[in-house]
Amino acid sequence: MKRLLKNGKVLDRTTGELVAADVLVEGRKVAKIGPNLAQNVTVDQVVELGGKLILPGLIDMHIHLREPGFEAKETIATGTKAAARGGFTTVACMPNTRPVTDQPETVRAIREKARQGGGARVLPIAAITQGSQGKELTNFAALKEAGAVAVSDDGVGVQNPRVMKEAMCQAAQLDMPVVAHCEEEALLVPGACVHDGVFAEKHGLPGIPSESEAIHVGRDILLAEDTGVHYHVCHISAEASVRLVREAKSRGQRVTAEVTPHHLLLCEEDIPSPDPMFKMNPPLRRKRDREVLLEALKDGTIDFIATDHAPHTAEEKARSMTEAPFGIVGLETAFPLLYTHLVLTGKLTLLELVDKMSRIPAECFGLPYGTLEEGKTADLTVVDLEEEREIHPAEFLSKGKNTPFAGWKGKGWPVLTLLEGEIVWEQQTPGV
């Protein structure tokens, strides 16, 4: 199958400018990129792009697909469709399912289901400890052999430093990244649901202090130092955590970090009222933290963006601020939100944003995706940079409608997504 994406634009990596180009897809690969390719080839299908932007398929190294066990929140089928609609072609899913992804069979089952569902490439992340209980390590070698790309107990922090140290030693031997949800439970109070700051104070809500994150970041950097492990910090949110990662990187330690769109765009001051749509872990922190996260993303201290797409049911999110589960969805809004609020405002260049959502996560995890190049896998996302649209959660393909961004307007909507040369999502009616 030969497919020509005609009259598109691509990002010139040397100038950062948009240049007119066609992309010829042959089978699973990008065969050619250049102007007016139509003159020289016969193809099976021509897709007219009308000047829209062709990007490498986006990569999200932190999402929750909820299957097995929590299919009311999301399934592999709905989550990967949501990914495709958001322009993501590769997603890494966290192991806090039921059962927890702590067995090779579960890893294989997720990969098999994802292959059938077909919306996006799914890379399972397996648990560090059995049941993510923080006690007994899982069998990293067997999990890797089954296809796990990393280990994480996301959802909870590994409380015992001895367990974490042993995990790092074993992961280093197998060259598996240790992906850490950083949270020290000894610093938490029951019912803690928002940052321990002005909003918590105003509404009399129990707060989550920044140190509960940073103390694990610091601890883990120390523990990882002599092991040579690739240590990755999930959803970094606090200034102190950023400072610790920066120091580790300055010594050449193999530490990476991700930040979510919501921590880049929102802070505690933006929470209108005690509304569980603004409840996520880690919480929205101070304005100062948000500014530091953006600076750190720009200067490379924070490597890339991951959504932490965390779907929950309407019923669960209708509970009170202390009772509702943590987490918000992100796959279907990440690119337009960040394009509109970081690129169009001049805080990041388009090339920076795209790299931090494709090339860099791929490089950090050694994946052969994330760039638009001849000869590479044809994972592609076409984006409309012009049309402004409003976010309507009812239109999400994800089962989760839990977003604090409902009603926000933006540009930069993905309109066409190709996975290994096949169209996996295409926008039908404008405005949907």
List residues forming the annotated binding site for substrate.
Answer: 64-66, 96, 281, 312, 326-327
User: Under rule CB under 6 A, which residues in 195-214 are in contact with ligand NCD?
Assistant: none
Give me 122's structure tokens: 């799914």
**In 325-364, which positions are buried (b, 16+ CB within 10 angstroms) versus exposed (e)?**
bbbbbbbbbbbbbbbbbbbeeebbebbbbbbbbbbbbbeb
Q: Which of 56, 155, 361, 393 binds ligand NCD (CB under 6 A)?
A: 155
- Least Å distance between CB 155 and Zn ion? 6
Instruction: Find the part of the chain contacting ligand NCD (CB under 6 A) among 36-44, 131-139, 320-328, 362-370.
Output: 320-328
Number of residues that bind ligand NCD (CB under 6 A): 12
Which of 89, 152 has the CB closer to ligand NCD? Answer: 152
Instruction: Find the part of the chain contacting ligand NCD (CB under 6 A) among 2-10, 12-20, 123-131, 319-327.
Output: 319-327
Judged by CB under 6 A, does residue 308 bind ligand NCD?
yes
The binding site for Zn(2+) comprises 62, 64, 154, 181, 235, 308
User: Under rule CB under 6 A, which residues in 66-105 are in contact with ligand NCD?
Assistant: 96
In the list Zn ion, ligand NCD, none, the entry touching 327 (Cβ below 5 to 8 angstroms by class) is ligand NCD
From CA 314, how far away is CA 311, in angstroms rounded? 9
Q: What is the DSSP string of 49-72?
A: -TTPEEEEPEEEEEE---TTT-TT
- Least Å distance between CB 398 and Zn ion? 15
- Cα 55 to Cα 9, 58, 96, 118, 315: the distances in Å are 9, 8, 31, 20, 37
The catalytically annotated residue of 102, 308, 355, 384 is: 308
Judged by CB under 6 A, does residue 280 bind ligand NCD?
yes
Q: What number of residues does the chain have? A: 432
Judged by CB under 6 A, does residue 265 bind ligand NCD?
no
Is 196 an annotated catalytic residue? no
Q: Which of 327, 410, 414, 421 binds ligand NCD (CB under 6 A)?
A: 327
- Residues 200 and 206 sit within 8 Å (Cβ to Cβ): yes
- Cα 338 to Cα 127, 265, 331, 346: the distances in Å are 30, 8, 12, 11
Taking residue 54's Cβ as centre, other Cβ atoms within 10 Å add up to 23
In the list Zn ion, ligand NCD, none, the entry touching 96 (Cβ below 5 to 8 angstroms by class) is ligand NCD
Q: Which of 18, 111, 316, 326 binds ligand NCD (CB under 6 A)?
A: 326
Read off φ and ψ for residue 31, nearest 5 degrees.
-90, -40
Q: What is the DSSP letter of 356?
A: H
Give me 154's structure tokens: 């996301």
Closest CA to 271 of 283, 261, 281: 283
Which of 106, 381 has the CB closer to ligand NCD? Answer: 106
- Residues 341 and 388 sit within 8 Å (Cβ to Cβ): no
Taking residue 199's Cβ as centre, other Cβ atoms within 10 Å add up to 23
The binding site comprises 62, 64-66, 96, 154, 181, 235, 281, 308, 312, 326-327
Helix H or strand E encompassing 255: strand 255-259
From CA 301, how far away is CA 243, in angstroms rounded? 9
Judged by CB under 5 A, does residue 60 bind Zn ion?
no
User: Under rule CB under 6 A, which residues in 9-68 are in contact with ligand NCD?
Assistant: 64
Helix H or strand E encompassing 243: helix 239-250
Q: Which of 60, 154, 220, 355 binds Zn ion (CB under 5 A)?
A: 154
- Least Å distance between CB 307 and ligand NCD? 10
In the list Zn ion, ligand NCD, none, the entry touching 326 (Cβ below 5 to 8 angstroms by class) is ligand NCD
From CA 204, how far away is CA 212, in angstroms rounded? 20
Judged by CB under 6 A, does residue 181 bind ligand NCD?
yes
- Least Å distance between CB 49 and ligand NCD? 35
Catalytic residues: 308
Residues found near ligand NCD in the complex (CB under 6 A): 64, 96, 154-155, 181, 280-281, 308, 310, 325-327
Residues found near Zn ion in the complex (CB under 5 A): 154, 181, 234, 308
